[in-house]
Structure 1
């Protein structure tokens, strides 16, 4: 991690910021400005011409945002990073930068609903096609890859089924075929999993989730090589304009300082809640990367530091009983995000993944009985007490 920052707990607090360069301010200043002044017309010309470093306009670069991106690149083990106004702005900028009309994208069998919608938009408007695969083996990859494939796009753990994908295996295959691997690392964060160190090329985040951690910001981040990030910055980010505001960057910098502490508590609470959920008679099936009976447990153990804070489970009943369970909760909040201090719970089939046609949704394993639980930072006993009474009420 660097001579001074061998431990992520130290790096999230100190890396990338020198208070001496900002009037001794302990906290990163918020450069809440749309534009920057030049000392002369000639200086403006040089900056626009790339002959002189310096800020021009906050859509193109901002000091607060730059401190965030330097930190995120370091934490993920990449060369450079970019910040966006949402996770989907990051995903769309990366995928548009990596494809042209006629190209093909291989996707993990299960995606966030809006990513699924973006892929369909790209197919309808630009003839950039996509195929889904479980990506469980080299044989799976060989069956789905095409001569025109340029990207393999992966969620792991997959949202919301918590299926795991062996990133080292996929990265090795992709390099042999000249294909770029993009990994959505939102569920794990660089504290639990580092796809670039496992051989993948680009990492994207909905930084709204664990990176921010407090439910008060919408944001996205992408990390990769300096050359690729420069391409994204000078094309899809600059010209489409899905940038991050300075204040949102400041919120993420604040959130990052406690990321390891929060992730430890999320993971510890999830382990406790999982063990009780698994034993409850109203739970038909449970999907959690830390489950030693999970078919992908060996992958989890190999590439994740801990098993994360998200659990999905199926209610033993109908869609209505699943909704009745949610309605019976008193402490847990019904909401579609994750990674917040509060425990959040939702029904993917009718909420986050409702835009996916039923046939495709069921093929992804998203049934009408499936519930996604983002375990928060409360006392785990209180989280379980609320879940237990709601299960017993249906």
Structure 2
């Protein structure tokens, strides 16, 4: 409809329906109209709930946040435009110049870079230490230490952090314990039940699960911290797109089924690889030969998750052959797809580290991280058998 000057008039509201949609509607609108300035005041001042400008929040993000809140057993989480946006929201949104943060010495590569290069540039001091050794973490604490960031199961060596010991240390020292729960997911581990103060997820990975979404999530036990993170996220423009949130909700509806199937196959793959000539070592939390097997059993129960790491004999040359021969498997620097993906940390997630630093972490040129997907298990095991045989013969 047009007014007398030919400009478009505001469209009428959507037609009334006595029924409701089964699928959450996609709400791509950037702006939301209010009736009066008083009505807008009511929204901004919290007397009524409503949306104003999608950078400040939109319905699809709220749907995803509430689903994850329920999975983690809290409320008030914020959905961000990526997993690293969630990490940044926690670290940069809550810390200030003069503060000190301790990070696990085995973190996702970009998290390590953020701590090593960007936080110091902002005047935030950082130290890396072994999260499986509480004494090492304790030795790194300073009077200005405000936060400790760890992954339950590290990327990519699958070391298991001493969450119980770290939670007690943080509680005694008035330090925030931040847990990146991306690998383990709420299906495998619920950090708040073990003393965490803040939980981070890359929804991009297992939760959405189809390699077509980029989102993150951060939530704190303390509502005041959630408010601070939300303000930082909105101010810096880390708000997610409605379409990604809409796709993520679809993926999350099947998450538990996908996760259970993938971790069952992962356990089979780990045992299969361990018996193969040409494999130097296999790392899987539920195997008795895992360095942190007792701790993994205590924290994760029988949930080994879907990640398997292994070291191939023959270095980079064998690695190149292996990825070419792994028929039907994608070699890609990510995880959580419905299909199995292969990641080579030395050439992707940890390529920014020096060769010596990678060696110290056990990341040789033959080291691979596998995100196990939903393939038929016997067929997947055969693909690995053929590829390893060809690469190491």
The counterpart of 1:300, out of the listed 296, 299, 308, is: 296
Secondary structure of 2:381's counterpart equals helix
Aligned equivalent of 2:109: 113
Which segments of 5 or more consecutive residues in structure 1 lack a partner in the other structure? 1-19
Aligned equivalent of 2:378: 381
The counterpart of 2:69, out of the listed 65, 68, 73, is: 73
8 A contact 1:326–1:346 mirrored in 2: no
The counterpart of 1:343, out of the listed 340, 343, 348, is: 340
Aligned residues: 374
In 1: Cα distance, 2:356 partner to 2:124 partner: 22
Aligned equivalent of 2:44: 48
8 A contact 1:102–1:126 mirrored in 2: no
8 A contact 1:116–1:356 mirrored in 2: no
Secondary structure of 1:197's counterpart equals helix
In 2: Cα distance, 1:361 partner to 1:342 partner: 27
Aligned equivalent of 1:320: 317
Aligned equivalent of 1:160: 156
Q: Please give the root-mean-square deviation of Cα atoms over the aligned residues, in Å.
A: 1.7
In 2: Cα distance, 1:136 partner to 1:310 partner: 19
Aligned equivalent of 1:368: 365
In 1: Cα distance, 2:66 partner to 2:17 partner: 16
Relative to structure 1, is the Cα distance of residues 43 and 22 closer, same or farther in structure 2, using a 3 angstrom cutoff?
farther
Aligned equivalent of 2:183: 187
Residue 173 (str. 1) matches residue 173 (str. 2): no
Q: Which stretch has the larger CA shift, 95-104 or 22-31?
A: 22-31
Secondary structure of 1:275's counterpart equals helix
Secondary structure of 1:196's counterpart equals helix
In 1: Cα distance, 2:18 partner to 2:268 partner: 44
In 1: Cα distance, 2:361 partner to 2:100 partner: 20
Larger of the two Rg values belongs to structure: 2
Secondary structure of 2:194's counterpart equals coil
Q: Give 1:21 deviation, angstroms.
A: 11
Alignment TM-score, normalising by the size of structure 1: 0.91
1:222-258 alpha-carbon deviations (Å, 9 max, x no partner): 1213221111111x20111111111111111111111
In 2: Cα distance, 1:38 partner to 1:374 partner: 46
Alignment TM-score, normalising by the size of structure 2: 0.91
8 A contact 1:332–1:342 mirrored in 2: yes
In 2: Cα distance, 1:365 partner to 1:167 partner: 22
In 2: Cα distance, 1:146 partner to 1:21 partner: 60
8 A contact 2:77–2:226 mirrored in 1: yes
Q: Give 1:359 deviation, angstroms.
A: 2.9
Q: Give 1:323 deviation, angstroms.
A: 2.1
Secondary structure of 1:30's counterpart equals coil
Q: Give 1:376 deviation, angstroms.
A: 0.7
Aligned equivalent of 2:60: 64
Which segments of 5 or more consecutive residues in structure 2 lack a partner in the other structure? 1-15
Secondary structure of 1:314's counterpart equals strand
